[in-house]
Structure 1
Amino acid sequence: MMNGLPYLKAGEGPPLIVLLFTPRATNPTGVARWSTMRMIRPFAERFTVYVVNRPPGLPPTTTMAELAAVYAQAIKATFDGPVNILGVSTGGSIAQQLAADHPALVGRLVLGGTACTLGPVGRQAQRAYMDRARRGRRPSPALATVVTESAIGRRLLAGLLWLSDSGGGDHTDAVTVLNAEDGFDLRGRLRDIQAATLLIQGGKDLVYPLESAGQTVEGIPGARLVVYPGRGHSGTFTDKRFAPDALTFLTAGRP
């Protein structure tokens, strides 16, 4: 535990905090763990990577600022000085809030597939996810709309996502985080982010549209935007360019 937060650790070097969205407030297992470790493997060659999760049982009314404060406490208790942060998707929303509210804790900031607020398609999908979870239905099929614009593709994917929820379980913690992101809008606070920032975005991201990503970068002083044309939301972080682009930025000025 990192000040009460579950985390996975890999590699050697200066710390790199990775913030992701996971359905449950615990370290991923099985295929999810394999996928997570595969994503961070290139970063572990240059950094000690900490994939830090949220604590279970947060109040359902938790805001993004309150969630960011939880991570800020863990960083203060664990590390001396600022740390680099990689925030992906909803984890990127948390990372932005953290950097705005606690600027002294963040060195360099890499954001992937995120923006200063959800787009309309992403917001609708997440609200549908929360509604299904609250009614005791398998929630993941609601996310099919943010992966593809094809009606046939959405139906097929919804079926696969329905199967992915076959293990059942409590989705309360996931709903808490998504509800916090539903109220997340940092457009008036972007100038408070002092960290050197890189945002990597897919040109066809339906969750956080490219227009919102551009607005995010325009608001953060000195921020840079890299766009992968034709890439959707999840395709951004699985793109073979993602890790090299992020690492080039994170290691700038280092021997």
Structure 2
Amino acid sequence: MTRRTQLPADALVSEVDPPAEQLGSNDAAGAGRRPAPEPVWGIARAVIAGATRAATAGGAMVRRRLRAQPTSSPDPVFGIFANGMAYLRMGGGPKTLLWIPGGPGNTLPTGGLALRMGQSWSRPFADAGYTVWWVTRRQNMPTGHSFADMANDYAQVIGEEFGGKVDLVLGMSTGGQIAFYLAAGHPETFQHIIIVAAGYADAEHDKDLLLRSARLLSQGRAGEAMALFVDDMYPRVPRPARRILGEVMGRSMYGNTHPHFDNDVMVEAEAEAASDAREVLPDITIPVLLVGGDQDPYFPKEMFQDTAGLIPDCTLRLYEGKGHEGLLSEKRFLQDVLTFIAEHPAAQPEPATEQPETNDQLGAAT
């Protein structure tokens, strides 16, 4: 039997704060991911956009076996799988897209601007016939849980909840780095894979920022953590404005987190700092589409090129003038993905993958 926390969509598409005990709030690839400088309003939007690789939902527990049945509601639905990986489901198409979010990736966008941004990113894929499953890292990860271990967690949830295979995996930033390991170790779990804004490893400066910000988040000092990100991303913005923006973002993004968040944010940051995917990239035997911006301050174009060069069959798309953020909203992004899929038929075509059945009604705790 599968246990799953779930809230009906209409309870979450509002501007009100979500319930006190949440599944989480997110981004340390906001924590270690600096968009290119832009006007002040653009700065606020970029920082907020980084938050969308985050947040969590809560509710009552329901128990029900998942069956192979397509979802029909286009409204966002939140829940948690039996292995502790929370999800946000958007769209209702017959094809399945598993979204591996940036870090810290154990949270979901539950409402307000963060949810709307997540919906805007997923809508083109929903329109193209996909149900988008934004799936977090599992909760209460043990110390030393590596990116390879997190990839194993995603393979497990695909096996247990999606009938063993999804149509498309999309990994963003930190999620893209985990997706390298999924591609190397579990190519049988998906038909196609897209990796966005991710290189084989973080630079030393970014590792330091990542760990410092994660420590603050784990101590409940979200405002200071966000201010640290803003200081690093936008040093030319007046310091008082950076402090205020950091505090506002800290409250917005991390006001409600699940009980294991303090642990998980550190485990993931330590895993990212220790990761270097160059050891596994040559083991990837399936085609990969890697998308990046040539102005990404975390992964310079030379790193994208080196990363692509280590993957035996990699198509690299570098968007001129683009940084770490904004790639998903590029009009050409969806077309590049669909073209890649059309030009690289799955090695073993299969019927549409299974959609886990969802129950939009609240149930009693079990």
Q: Normalising to structure 2: TM-score of the pair?
A: 0.63
Pair 1:160-2:245 in alignment: yes
Query: C-alpha deviations, 1:135-193, integer Å up to 9, x for none?
Result: 54322223236645xx2138445641332112375543222222211111111210111
Pair 1:247-2:338 in alignment: yes
User: 1:114·1:201 contact (CA, 8 Å) conserved in 2?
Assistant: yes
Pair 1:7-2:90 in alignment: no
Pair 1:220-2:311 in alignment: yes
Pair 1:37-2:113 in alignment: no
Pair 1:195-2:286 in alignment: yes
Mean Cα displacement is larger for which, 213-222 or 238-247? 238-247
Distance 1:14 1:226 in 2: 24
Aligned to 2:136: 53
Distance 1:35 1:2 in 2: 23
In structure 2, the CA distance between the partners of 1:240 and 1:162, relative to structure 1 (3 Å rule), is farther
Mean Cα displacement is larger for which, 13-22 or 68-77? 13-22
Pair 1:142-2:228 in alignment: yes
Pair 1:68-2:166 in alignment: no
Pair 1:90-2:174 in alignment: yes
Distance 2:165 2:174 in 1: 22
Query: C-alpha deviations, 1:106-152, integer Å up to 9, x for none?
Result: 3211111111111234323212212323454322223236645xx21
Distance 2:226 2:262 in 1: 10
Query: C-alpha deviations, 1:50-103, integer Å up to 9, x for none?
Result: 111122211232111111111111111123454321000111011111111212
In structure 2, the CA distance between the partners of 1:225 and 1:171, relative to structure 1 (3 Å rule), is same
Distance 2:330 2:208 in 1: 26
Aligned-partner residue type, residue 250 of structure 2:
D
Q: How many residues align?
A: 252
% identical equivalent positions? 30
Pair 1:101-2:181 in alignment: no
Aligned-partner residue type, residue 133 of structure 2:
Y
In structure 2, the CA distance between the partners of 1:91 and 1:154, relative to structure 1 (3 Å rule), is farther
Query: C-alpha deviations, 1:181-229, integer Å up to 9, x for none?
Result: 1111111210111221111101111222222211110011120111112
User: 1:107·1:196 contact (CA, 8 Å) conserved in 2?
Assistant: no
Distance 1:147 1:242 in 2: 25
User: 1:106·1:195 contact (CA, 8 Å) conserved in 2?
Assistant: no
Aligned-partner residue type, residue 66 of structure 1:
D
Aligned to 1:78: 161
Aligned to 1:174: 265
Aligned-partner residue type, residue 195 of structure 1:
I
Distance 1:180 1:67 in 2: 9
Aligned to 2:322: 231
User: 2:174·2:272 contact (CA, 8 Å) conserved in 1?
Assistant: yes
In structure 2, the CA distance between the partners of 1:114 and 1:253, relative to structure 1 (3 Å rule), is closer
Q: Normalising to structure 1: TM-score of the pair?
A: 0.87
Aligned-partner residue type, residue 68 of structure 1:
A
Where in structure 2 are there 5+ consecutive unaligned residues?
Answer: 1-79, 346-366
Higher helix proportion, which one? 1
Distance 2:289 2:131 in 1: 20
User: 1:121·1:146 contact (CA, 8 Å) conserved in 2?
Assistant: no
Distance 1:209 1:102 in 2: 28
Please show how residues 107-118 of structure 1 align to structure 2 within 5 Å: 107-118=191-202
Aligned-partner residue type, residue 247 of structure 2:
W
Runs of 4+ in 1 over 6 A off after TM superposition: none
Per chain length, whose mean CA-contact separation is higher, i.e. which structure has more relative contact order (CA < 8 Å, sep 6+)? 2
Aligned to 1:133: 217
SS of 1:187's partner is helix
Give 1 or 2 for the bigger CA radius of gyration: 2
